[in-house]
A and B are shown apart, each in its own frame.
Chain A
Amino acid sequence: MRFLLRALLLCAAVFLWSVSSVQAQDAPTDDDVNDIAKQLFCPTCENIPLDQCGTDACIQWRATISDLLADGNTEADIKAYFVAQHGERVLNVPTARGFGLLLWLSPLLFAVIALGVYIRFARNTQPVKVVQAAPVTATTPQADYISQVEAELDRRRGL
Protein backbone atom coordinates (compact mmCIF):
# COMPACT_ATOMS: atom_id res chain seq x y z
CA MET A 1 0.00 0.00 0.00
CA ARG A 2 2.79 2.37 0.98
CA PHE A 3 4.60 1.52 -2.25
CA LEU A 4 1.49 2.35 -4.27
CA LEU A 5 1.14 5.71 -2.48
CA ARG A 6 4.76 6.55 -3.16
CA ALA A 7 4.35 5.62 -6.83
CA LEU A 8 1.29 7.87 -7.10
CA LEU A 9 3.10 10.77 -5.46
CA LEU A 10 6.04 10.30 -7.80
CA CYS A 11 3.71 10.27 -10.82
CA ALA A 12 1.98 13.44 -9.59
CA ALA A 13 5.33 15.16 -9.06
CA VAL A 14 6.51 14.22 -12.55
CA PHE A 15 3.22 15.43 -14.04
CA LEU A 16 3.38 18.80 -12.23
CA TRP A 17 7.03 19.26 -13.19
CA SER A 18 6.29 18.56 -16.86
CA VAL A 19 3.31 20.92 -16.90
CA SER A 20 5.29 23.72 -15.27
CA SER A 21 8.23 23.21 -17.61
CA VAL A 22 5.95 23.37 -20.67
CA GLN A 23 4.36 26.56 -19.31
CA ALA A 24 7.81 27.99 -18.66
CA GLN A 25 8.78 27.26 -22.26
CA ASP A 26 5.62 28.94 -23.60
CA ALA A 27 5.88 32.07 -21.47
CA PRO A 28 8.12 34.62 -23.20
CA THR A 29 11.07 35.83 -21.16
CA ASP A 30 11.90 39.47 -20.46
CA ASP A 31 14.71 39.18 -23.02
CA ASP A 32 12.23 38.00 -25.67
CA VAL A 33 9.98 40.96 -24.91
CA ASN A 34 12.84 43.46 -24.79
CA ASP A 35 14.26 42.22 -28.11
CA ILE A 36 11.10 43.57 -29.72
CA ALA A 37 10.53 46.44 -27.28
CA LYS A 38 13.89 48.02 -28.09
CA GLN A 39 12.75 48.40 -31.71
CA LEU A 40 9.68 50.39 -30.67
CA PHE A 41 9.04 53.86 -29.28
CA CYS A 42 5.98 54.83 -27.28
CA PRO A 43 4.50 58.14 -28.62
CA THR A 44 4.26 59.52 -25.11
CA CYS A 45 7.96 59.13 -24.29
CA GLU A 46 10.19 61.17 -26.57
CA ASN A 47 13.33 59.36 -27.72
CA ILE A 48 13.14 56.58 -25.14
CA PRO A 49 12.92 53.07 -26.55
CA LEU A 50 10.19 50.91 -25.12
CA ASP A 51 12.58 48.53 -23.35
CA GLN A 52 14.02 51.41 -21.31
CA CYS A 53 10.84 53.36 -20.67
CA GLY A 54 9.29 53.11 -17.21
CA THR A 55 5.94 54.85 -17.72
CA ASP A 56 2.62 53.06 -17.23
CA ALA A 57 1.96 53.26 -20.98
CA CYS A 58 5.25 51.51 -21.79
CA ILE A 59 4.66 48.86 -19.13
CA GLN A 60 1.28 48.15 -20.75
CA TRP A 61 2.85 47.96 -24.20
CA ARG A 62 5.49 45.50 -23.00
CA ALA A 63 2.74 43.39 -21.44
CA THR A 64 0.97 43.41 -24.81
CA ILE A 65 4.18 42.26 -26.53
CA SER A 66 4.44 39.43 -24.01
CA ASP A 67 0.81 38.42 -24.63
CA LEU A 68 1.27 38.51 -28.41
CA LEU A 69 4.45 36.40 -28.17
CA ALA A 70 2.66 33.91 -25.94
CA ASP A 71 -0.08 33.69 -28.61
CA GLY A 72 2.56 32.62 -31.14
CA ASN A 73 2.96 35.90 -33.03
CA THR A 74 6.30 36.58 -34.70
CA GLU A 75 8.39 39.73 -34.30
CA ALA A 76 7.12 41.02 -37.66
CA ASP A 77 3.50 40.35 -36.62
CA ILE A 78 3.95 42.26 -33.39
CA LYS A 79 5.60 45.23 -35.06
CA ALA A 80 2.83 45.28 -37.67
CA TYR A 81 0.24 45.23 -34.85
CA PHE A 82 1.81 48.23 -33.13
CA VAL A 83 2.11 50.12 -36.42
CA ALA A 84 -1.57 49.46 -37.13
CA GLN A 85 -2.55 50.62 -33.65
CA HIS A 86 -0.22 53.56 -33.17
CA GLY A 87 1.29 54.46 -36.54
CA GLU A 88 4.67 54.19 -38.25
CA ARG A 89 6.31 56.53 -35.79
CA VAL A 90 6.51 53.78 -33.16
CA LEU A 91 9.24 52.06 -35.20
CA ASN A 92 12.87 52.93 -34.47
CA VAL A 93 13.76 52.32 -38.14
CA PRO A 94 11.33 53.74 -40.74
CA THR A 95 10.00 51.30 -43.30
CA ALA A 96 11.03 51.83 -46.92
CA ARG A 97 7.54 52.90 -47.99
CA GLY A 98 5.96 56.31 -48.65
CA PHE A 99 7.69 59.07 -46.72
CA GLY A 100 10.00 56.49 -45.11
CA LEU A 101 11.30 55.57 -48.58
CA LEU A 102 12.14 59.22 -49.18
CA LEU A 103 14.09 59.28 -45.92
CA TRP A 104 16.04 56.20 -47.01
CA LEU A 105 16.76 57.55 -50.49
CA SER A 106 17.57 61.17 -49.65
CA PRO A 107 21.21 60.48 -48.53
CA LEU A 108 21.79 58.59 -51.80
CA LEU A 109 20.20 61.42 -53.78
CA PHE A 110 22.39 64.03 -52.09
CA ALA A 111 25.49 61.85 -52.60
CA VAL A 112 24.77 61.55 -56.35
CA ILE A 113 24.21 65.29 -56.65
CA ALA A 114 27.41 66.02 -54.70
CA LEU A 115 29.37 63.62 -56.92
CA GLY A 116 27.92 65.26 -60.04
CA VAL A 117 28.86 68.73 -58.80
CA TYR A 118 32.38 67.52 -57.88
CA ILE A 119 32.94 65.92 -61.29
CA ARG A 120 31.71 69.03 -63.05
CA PHE A 121 34.00 71.35 -61.10
CA ALA A 122 36.93 68.95 -61.48
CA ARG A 123 36.50 68.97 -65.26
CA ASN A 124 36.23 72.74 -65.46
CA THR A 125 39.24 73.43 -63.30
CA GLN A 126 42.32 74.19 -65.43
CA PRO A 127 45.59 72.63 -64.26
CA VAL A 128 48.00 75.17 -62.83
CA LYS A 129 50.81 75.83 -65.28
CA VAL A 130 54.23 75.50 -63.69
CA VAL A 131 56.44 78.25 -65.02
CA GLN A 132 60.05 77.22 -64.91
CA ALA A 133 62.57 79.91 -64.03
CA ALA A 134 64.92 80.78 -66.81
CA PRO A 135 68.37 79.29 -66.20
CA VAL A 136 70.98 81.77 -65.22
CA THR A 137 73.39 81.97 -68.05
CA ALA A 138 76.78 83.45 -68.16
CA THR A 139 75.63 85.97 -70.65
CA THR A 140 73.65 88.13 -68.20
CA PRO A 141 75.48 90.99 -66.46
CA GLN A 142 74.41 89.61 -63.06
CA ALA A 143 75.96 86.22 -63.84
CA ASP A 144 79.19 87.88 -64.90
CA TYR A 145 79.34 89.79 -61.66
CA ILE A 146 78.68 86.61 -59.60
CA SER A 147 81.40 84.78 -61.51
CA GLN A 148 83.81 87.59 -60.80
CA VAL A 149 82.96 87.59 -57.09
CA GLU A 150 83.39 83.82 -56.86
CA ALA A 151 86.72 84.00 -58.71
CA GLU A 152 87.93 86.73 -56.36
CA LEU A 153 86.87 84.70 -53.32
CA ASP A 154 88.71 81.66 -54.65
CA ARG A 155 91.79 83.73 -55.22
CA ARG A 156 91.75 85.15 -51.67
CA ARG A 157 91.32 81.70 -50.20
CA GLY A 158 94.40 80.71 -52.06
CA LEU A 159 92.79 78.16 -54.23
Chain B
Amino acid sequence: MTADSEQQRSPLFYVISALVFVALAALLWLLGSRIIRGTAPPVAGEIAPDFALTDFETGEIHTLESLEGKIIVLNFWASWCVPCATEAPELEAIQQAYADRDVVVLGVDYADTETEALAFLEKYEITYINGPDLGTRISQAYRIKGVPETYVIAPDGTLAETIIGPATSAHLSGILDDLLP
Protein backbone atom coordinates (compact mmCIF):
# COMPACT_ATOMS: atom_id res chain seq x y z
CA MET B 1 0.00 0.00 0.00
CA THR B 2 1.95 3.04 -1.18
CA ALA B 3 1.29 6.74 -0.75
CA ASP B 4 0.51 6.96 -4.47
CA SER B 5 -2.24 4.33 -4.30
CA GLU B 6 -3.75 6.14 -1.27
CA GLN B 7 -3.94 9.34 -3.34
CA GLN B 8 -5.54 7.52 -6.29
CA ARG B 9 -8.54 6.20 -4.25
CA SER B 10 -11.85 7.81 -5.16
CA PRO B 11 -14.44 8.90 -2.56
CA LEU B 12 -16.64 6.06 -3.82
CA PHE B 13 -14.10 3.59 -2.42
CA TYR B 14 -14.50 5.05 1.06
CA VAL B 15 -18.31 5.09 0.79
CA ILE B 16 -18.40 1.44 -0.29
CA SER B 17 -15.92 0.45 2.43
CA ALA B 18 -18.02 2.22 5.06
CA LEU B 19 -21.21 0.52 3.80
CA VAL B 20 -19.57 -2.90 3.86
CA PHE B 21 -18.27 -2.23 7.38
CA VAL B 22 -21.71 -1.11 8.59
CA ALA B 23 -23.38 -4.14 6.95
CA LEU B 24 -20.92 -6.52 8.57
CA ALA B 25 -21.26 -4.85 11.96
CA ALA B 26 -25.07 -5.01 11.70
CA LEU B 27 -24.92 -8.68 10.76
CA LEU B 28 -22.65 -9.52 13.67
CA TRP B 29 -24.78 -7.48 16.05
CA LEU B 30 -27.94 -9.27 14.90
CA LEU B 31 -26.39 -12.70 15.25
CA GLY B 32 -24.86 -11.79 18.59
CA SER B 33 -28.07 -10.38 20.01
CA ARG B 34 -29.89 -13.55 18.95
CA ILE B 35 -27.33 -15.67 20.75
CA ILE B 36 -27.41 -13.51 23.89
CA ARG B 37 -31.20 -13.45 23.92
CA GLY B 38 -31.15 -17.19 23.42
CA THR B 39 -29.22 -17.84 26.60
CA ALA B 40 -30.24 -15.20 29.12
CA PRO B 41 -33.23 -16.19 31.28
CA PRO B 42 -35.20 -13.55 33.20
CA VAL B 43 -33.78 -12.77 36.62
CA ALA B 44 -35.71 -12.29 39.88
CA GLY B 45 -36.18 -8.62 40.69
CA GLU B 46 -36.25 -7.53 37.05
CA ILE B 47 -39.37 -6.67 35.06
CA ALA B 48 -40.88 -9.92 33.80
CA PRO B 49 -41.02 -10.39 30.01
CA ASP B 50 -44.33 -9.32 28.54
CA PHE B 51 -46.68 -11.92 27.10
CA ALA B 52 -50.02 -12.29 25.32
CA LEU B 53 -51.90 -15.44 26.27
CA THR B 54 -55.07 -16.25 24.33
CA ASP B 55 -57.57 -18.03 26.58
CA PHE B 56 -58.53 -21.48 25.24
CA GLU B 57 -62.07 -21.04 26.52
CA THR B 58 -62.99 -17.41 25.90
CA GLY B 59 -60.42 -16.23 23.33
CA GLU B 60 -59.62 -13.30 25.61
CA ILE B 61 -56.00 -12.11 25.50
CA HIS B 62 -54.25 -11.75 28.84
CA THR B 63 -51.10 -9.64 29.06
CA LEU B 64 -48.78 -8.48 31.81
CA GLU B 65 -50.32 -5.02 31.49
CA SER B 66 -53.93 -6.23 31.68
CA LEU B 67 -53.11 -8.09 34.91
CA GLU B 68 -51.19 -5.22 36.51
CA GLY B 69 -51.63 -5.07 40.27
CA LYS B 70 -52.17 -8.81 40.57
CA ILE B 71 -49.79 -11.59 41.45
CA ILE B 72 -49.39 -13.83 38.42
CA VAL B 73 -48.47 -17.49 38.65
CA LEU B 74 -47.34 -18.25 35.11
CA ASN B 75 -47.06 -21.99 34.57
CA PHE B 76 -45.65 -23.67 31.44
CA TRP B 77 -47.04 -27.14 30.83
CA ALA B 78 -47.94 -29.66 28.13
CA SER B 79 -50.35 -32.57 27.91
CA TRP B 80 -47.49 -34.96 27.06
CA CYS B 81 -45.54 -33.92 30.14
CA VAL B 82 -45.88 -36.49 32.95
CA PRO B 83 -44.82 -34.22 35.87
CA CYS B 84 -47.32 -31.62 34.62
CA ALA B 85 -50.11 -34.07 35.42
CA THR B 86 -49.04 -34.26 39.06
CA GLU B 87 -48.57 -30.50 39.20
CA ALA B 88 -51.94 -29.51 37.71
CA PRO B 89 -54.05 -30.32 40.83
CA GLU B 90 -51.56 -28.36 42.96
CA LEU B 91 -52.00 -25.28 40.79
CA GLU B 92 -55.75 -25.75 40.81
CA ALA B 93 -55.64 -25.82 44.61
CA ILE B 94 -53.71 -22.52 44.58
CA GLN B 95 -56.26 -21.02 42.18
CA GLN B 96 -59.09 -22.03 44.51
CA ALA B 97 -57.35 -20.86 47.67
CA TYR B 98 -56.21 -17.47 46.36
CA ALA B 99 -58.97 -16.61 43.85
CA ASP B 100 -60.26 -13.72 45.95
CA ARG B 101 -56.83 -12.35 46.86
CA ASP B 102 -55.69 -10.88 43.55
CA VAL B 103 -53.74 -13.93 42.50
CA VAL B 104 -54.12 -15.19 38.92
CA VAL B 105 -52.90 -18.57 37.77
CA LEU B 106 -52.15 -18.75 34.05
CA GLY B 107 -51.32 -21.94 32.22
CA VAL B 108 -49.21 -21.65 29.07
CA ASP B 109 -49.58 -24.77 26.94
CA TYR B 110 -46.18 -25.40 25.36
CA ALA B 111 -45.51 -27.32 22.10
CA ASP B 112 -48.80 -29.12 22.33
CA THR B 113 -51.82 -29.95 20.22
CA GLU B 114 -55.07 -28.27 21.13
CA THR B 115 -57.14 -31.47 21.22
CA GLU B 116 -54.78 -33.14 23.68
CA ALA B 117 -54.44 -29.96 25.72
CA LEU B 118 -58.20 -29.52 26.13
CA ALA B 119 -58.56 -33.20 27.06
CA PHE B 120 -55.86 -32.70 29.72
CA LEU B 121 -57.66 -29.69 31.19
CA GLU B 122 -60.93 -31.59 31.30
CA LYS B 123 -59.34 -34.68 32.84
CA TYR B 124 -57.75 -32.73 35.70
CA GLU B 125 -60.76 -30.37 36.07
CA ILE B 126 -58.66 -27.25 35.63
CA THR B 127 -60.54 -23.98 36.05
CA TYR B 128 -57.70 -21.44 35.89
CA ILE B 129 -56.93 -19.60 32.64
CA ASN B 130 -55.08 -21.60 30.03
CA GLY B 131 -53.97 -20.88 26.49
CA PRO B 132 -51.57 -22.03 23.81
CA ASP B 133 -48.05 -20.66 23.52
CA LEU B 134 -48.63 -19.44 19.97
CA GLY B 135 -45.40 -19.34 18.01
CA THR B 136 -43.63 -20.38 21.26
CA ARG B 137 -43.28 -16.64 21.84
CA ILE B 138 -43.95 -16.73 25.59
CA SER B 139 -41.65 -19.67 26.26
CA GLN B 140 -38.91 -17.97 24.23
CA ALA B 141 -39.37 -14.73 26.14
CA TYR B 142 -38.98 -16.62 29.44
CA ARG B 143 -36.22 -18.86 28.08
CA ILE B 144 -37.77 -21.99 29.51
CA LYS B 145 -35.63 -25.11 29.47
CA GLY B 146 -38.54 -27.52 29.61
CA VAL B 147 -41.89 -28.17 31.23
CA PRO B 148 -43.12 -27.74 33.85
CA GLU B 149 -41.71 -24.39 34.86
CA THR B 150 -43.47 -21.74 36.92
CA TYR B 151 -42.80 -18.01 37.24
CA VAL B 152 -44.32 -15.93 40.02
CA ILE B 153 -44.70 -12.28 39.03
CA ALA B 154 -45.21 -9.62 41.71
CA PRO B 155 -48.01 -6.98 41.43
CA ASP B 156 -45.48 -4.40 40.17
CA GLY B 157 -44.58 -6.64 37.21
CA THR B 158 -41.21 -7.82 38.52
CA LEU B 159 -40.26 -11.46 38.55
CA ALA B 160 -40.41 -12.73 42.14
CA GLU B 161 -39.59 -16.42 41.84
CA THR B 162 -38.78 -19.10 39.30
CA ILE B 163 -39.64 -22.75 39.92
CA ILE B 164 -37.97 -25.26 37.60
CA GLY B 165 -39.81 -28.57 37.68
CA PRO B 166 -43.16 -29.36 39.30
CA ALA B 167 -44.44 -26.72 41.71
CA THR B 168 -46.25 -27.75 44.86
CA SER B 169 -49.10 -25.86 46.49
CA ALA B 170 -47.11 -25.63 49.74
CA HIS B 171 -44.14 -24.01 48.01
CA LEU B 172 -46.35 -21.62 46.04
CA SER B 173 -48.37 -20.69 49.15
CA GLY B 174 -45.15 -19.66 50.90
CA ILE B 175 -44.15 -17.42 47.98
CA LEU B 176 -47.63 -15.91 47.59
CA ASP B 177 -48.04 -15.23 51.33
CA ASP B 178 -44.75 -13.32 51.28
CA LEU B 179 -45.90 -11.21 48.33
CA LEU B 180 -49.42 -10.51 49.56
CA PRO B 181 -49.90 -7.53 51.85
Q: Which A positions have Cβ atoms within 8 angstroms of B?
A: 42-44, 55-57, 60-61, 63-64, 83-89, 99, 102, 106, 109, 113, 116, 124
Contact = CB atoms under 8 A, between A and B. Distances in A.
B1 A85 contact: no
A86 B113 contact: no
B-side interface size class: 20 to 34
Contact of A109 (B23, B80, B132, B137): B23
29 contacts: A42-B111, A44-B111, A56-B80, A57-B78, A57-B112, A60-B80, A60-B112, A60-B116, A61-B113, A63-B113, A64-B113, A83-B135, A84-B134, A84-B135, A85-B134, A85-B135, A86-B111, A86-B135, A87-B135, A87-B136, A87-B137, A88-B135, A89-B136, A99-B34, A106-B27, A109-B27, A113-B24, A124-B1, A124-B5
A116 B16 CA distance: 11
Majority DSSP secondary structure for residues of A touching B? helix
Contact of A55 (B23, B30, B80, B140): B80
Given A42-B111, A44-B146, 20 more contacts: A43-B110, A43-B139, A56-B80, A57-B78, A57-B111, A60-B112, A60-B113, A64-B113, A85-B132, A85-B134, A86-B111, A86-B133, A86-B135, A87-B135, A87-B137, A87-B140, A99-B30, A109-B23, A109-B27, A116-B20
